[in-house]
Structure 1
Amino acid sequence: MRKWFAVLALVGLLGASSTLAQSCLASAKANGLTVGTSPDYPPFESLDKDNKIIGFDVDLINAIAGELGLKVSVIGQSFDGLIPALLSKKIDVIAAGLTITEERKKSVDFTRPYISGPNVIITRKETSGISKLEDLAGKKVAVQIGSAQEKIASGVKGAQVKSYNLYTDAALAVNTRQADALIVHRFVGRAFLKQYPDLKIVAELNQVDTGLALRKDCGDLRQAIDAAIEKLEQNGKMDELATKWFK
């Protein structure tokens, strides 16, 4: 009799363990996908006149969700809080024009890259003498807190790094002469140039890859998203989104 009780107890434990260890993909299918972003990085993500989050990343994650049959909720917050929110399971995915770096790979997993391009240096049109990274020595360089560009600026000996919560504030600082230069992804830089005609791109820097970030224990969800991205690349949808937001 005790043997049967032991078997039943083991089955019960296995069932409980299976419930607790529900895969990230199964959880997303059951509860929807919560996506975190920082809507101050056009054209990847920004706020429209109605304070609705829009941008390439929003369209991309919705297209991915369509392929996987998932409901999506996109929430905005500060950029430097995105990875902590992911690790504490407040969100399932980061879609924020996130540069794939070796440092970030230590704490999160990335999908396959969906955008590649260089970082650039932006100054006011009246500014001279800046044509490469080393020329930022002695200059006030605007970046966003926690960004890959902040790390680049911090590596320039003598640069005065000014970090802002929002990249839109960093761009405004250059436009209003509170900073001398801005380091940002080229696609984002082009968006800021449309907003501030007195700014210009003076140098292209390193090529970077951009991806979505997930927790390391969500390999099944990452694989599903990777497959969806690949399909969007093959069926032309990715090109449509790139044309819409980046051209």
Structure 2
Amino acid sequence: MSKKIIMILMLTMLVGFSAEAGMQVNSDGKPVVSVASDCTWPPMEFINKDKQIVGFSVDLMKAAAEAGGYVVEIKNVAWDGIFAGLASGKYDCICSSVTINKQRKKGMDFSDPYFEVQQSVVTNKDSNAKTLADFKGKKLGAQIGTTGYFAVKKTDGVVAKSYDEVGLAMEDLYNGRISAVVCDDPIAADFALQQEEYAKRLKIAFVVKSDTPEYLGVAVQKGNKEVVDLINKGLAAAVKNGSYDKIKAKWFGSN
């Protein structure tokens, strides 16, 4: 976690919070926040072998809720409709490796950032590519509507292939149907370095250069300050009580 994120979340602890009328509460009187997550991004959010929703962000949202005095209900929602569902009020927020950017901020609000990422390029181990431009004339895959897909789309000379799930793109790469996959670095590391079958053939070739850092945040319906304040309060509390560092170490190691 970058020092900048820690400072933002800790400063949030200095801001008072008062619940507004309208927030749903459980039998114990605690506010209930419904969370949508596209659970296809290990180790951030995914379905394990026991059909449970797990991952770094899942643990973080639960820890933030406990520390902040509210409850979260996390549901698996497909990426292609996840933002429309937020806009229509089907759930209170999205925690699904969503990058905070100017375009998205026009249509939704965000919590304070909770994780810094880069866009990594996964290729076959025999590839010598060092930039996206080195794939001129070849197909590159990414999950549609993600930062990785936007990076591919704006690269001249390459063919962008979109997928509903990043795992499908990795499968096509493994089977030789495309030349590379672009996605967040934690997801790239999980598929290319930690999944035994893929690790034999794939590697992280390089990181896409960017002039600005990329942060993940919890997306909230535009104007819903109540939920934003509640989540920020919980995230800051999870940092202060040490839960954040423990969860990060669990999923990414202590380095």
Q: Tell me, what secondary structure is at the counterpart of 1:84? A: helix
Map residues 64-83 of structure 1 onto 2, 5 A cutoff.
64-83=64-83
Q: What is the CA–CA distance in structure 1 between the aligned matches of 2:81 and 2:222, rounded to whole Å? A: 18
Aligned pair 1:231/2:227, yes or no? Answer: no
Structure 1 residues 136 and 26, CA, compared in 2 at 3 Å: closer, same or farther? farther
Q: Tell me, what secondary structure is at the counterpart of 1:65? A: helix
TM-score normalised to the size of structure 2? 0.83
Instruction: Give the drift of 1:24.
Output: 6.9
Structure 1 residues 25 and 190, CA, compared in 2 at 3 Å: closer, same or farther? farther
Shift >4 Å, 4+ stretches: 23-26
Structure 1 residues 60 and 28, CA, compared in 2 at 3 Å: closer, same or farther? farther
Tell me the percent identity: 29
Structure 1 residues 117 and 109, CA, compared in 2 at 3 Å: closer, same or farther? same
1:139-171 per-position Cα deviation (integer Å, ceiling 9, x unaligned): 211100111211111000111111111111111
Structure 1: which amino acid aligns with 2:203?
K
Structure 2: which amino acid aligns with 1:100?
I
Greater mean alpha carbon deviation, residues 69-78 or residues 109-118: 69-78
What are the ranges of 5 or more consecutive residues in structure 1 without an aligned counterpart? 1-22
What are the ranges of 5 or more consecutive residues in structure 2 without an aligned counterpart? 1-18
Map residues 19-34 of structure 1 onto 2, 5 A cutoff.
26-29=22-25, 32-34=32-34
Q: Tell me, what secondary structure is at the counterpart of 2:229? A: helix
Aligned twin of 1:208: 214
Larger radius of gyration: 1
Structure 1 residues 212 and 25, CA, compared in 2 at 3 Å: closer, same or farther? farther
Aligned twin of 1:46: 46
Structure 1 residues 64 and 29, CA, compared in 2 at 3 Å: closer, same or farther? farther
Instruction: Give the drift of 1:181.
Output: 0.4
Q: Tell me, what secondary structure is at the counterpart of 2:230? A: helix
TM-score normalised to the size of structure 1? 0.86
Instruction: Give the drift of 1:217.
Output: 1.9
Aligned twin of 1:9: none
Greater mean alpha carbon deviation, residues 182-191 or residues 130-139: 130-139
Structure 2: which amino acid aligns with 1:110?
F
Map residues 171-182 of structure 1 onto 2, 5 A cutoff.
171-182=170-181
Q: What is the CA–CA distance in structure 1 between the aligned matches of 2:131 and 2:247, rounded to whole Å? A: 31
Instruction: Give the drift of 1:234.
Output: 2.2
Instruction: Give the drift of 1:243.
Output: 0.8
Q: Tell me, what secondary structure is at the counterpart of 1:179? A: coil
> Does the CA contact (< 8 Å) of 1:25 and 1:221 recur in 2?
no
Over the residues paired in the alignment, what is the CA RMSD in angstroms? 1.6
1:173-221 per-position Cα deviation (integer Å, ceiling 9, x unaligned): 1111111001111111110111111111111123410111001221122
Which of the residues 225, 228, 242 maps onto 1:222? 228
Map residues 140-219 of structure 1 onto 2, 5 A cutoff.
140-193=139-192, 194-195=194-195, 196-197=198-199, 198-205=201-208, 206=210, 207-219=213-225
Greater mean alpha carbon deviation, residues 43-52 or residues 228-237: 228-237
Count of equivalent residues = 224
Instruction: Give the drift of 1:26.
Output: 4.6
Structure 1 residues 25 and 111, CA, compared in 2 at 3 Å: closer, same or farther? farther
> Does the CA contact (< 8 Å) of 1:24 and 1:218 recur in 2?
no
Aligned twin of 1:11: none
1:101-149 per-position Cα deviation (integer Å, ceiling 9, x unaligned): 1111111111111111211111010222x11122232221110011121
